[in-house]
Amino acid sequence: MKLKIGDPAPQFNATATDGGPIKLSDYFGKKLVLYFYPMDDTPGCTKQACSLRDHYQEIQDKDASILGVSTQDVATHQRFTEKYNLPFPLVADTDGAVSRAYGAIGGGGGGLVGTAINLFGVANRITFLIDESGHIAHIIDHPDTAHHAEEILKLL
């Protein structure tokens, strides 16, 4: 089932960049930018993360937090975070449970990239803006990686 605006955001328990637990309910009472991306340290994913990093304070000023999610492990996320000085946590969704709950795995489409996404359990690029009560406020299906923060700021 595809999530839509107004739906309750699926709850999750996962592991963050620092190796500690992280869950959706940690963010209740604040807006949350929950973005799914395919892989750390690739050109598009790096542009997206750096866009969010560069506008992090502006997003925080709108009373919003950021969480990035991919199916890679904590060590990979730590290297990516350190290399690009990311100020927000990344979720190590190694079993794909969070990505599946949000519909970010599967449905990768046809062609070589779509087939690889489906076969290897790589998350699709999609962003959910979750409101203070834990409901989906906006969905960005095809983020502009280089200007993703600007897209988000227009919606917050």
Q: By residue range, what is the domain housing residue 96?
A: 35-155
Asked whether residue 58 is assigned to any structural domain, the reply reads yes
Mean pLDDT calculated for residue range 15-30: 93
Q: Over the stretch 34-89, which tens digit does the pLDDT of each residue have?
A: 999 999 999 999 999 999 999 999 999 999 999 999 999 999 999 999 999 999 99
Catalytic residue status for 50: no
At 123, is the pLDDT very low, low, confident or very high (cuts 50, 70, 90)?
confident
Percent of the chain with pLDDT over 90: 80
Structural domain tally of the chain? 1
Give the domain CATH number at 60.
3.40.30.10
In a domain, residue 26? The reply is: no
Question: Do the domain assignments include residue 2?
Answer: no
- From the list 68, 73, 74, the residue with the least C-alpha distance to 104 is 68
The answer to whether residue 149 is domain-embedded is yes
Mean pLDDT of the chain: 90
Residue 22 lies in a domain: no
Structure tokens at 107: 């449905």
Which of 22, 45, 64, 67 does the annotation list as catalytic? 45
Q: What percent of the chain has pLDDT over 70?
A: 88
Domain annotation covers residue 55: yes
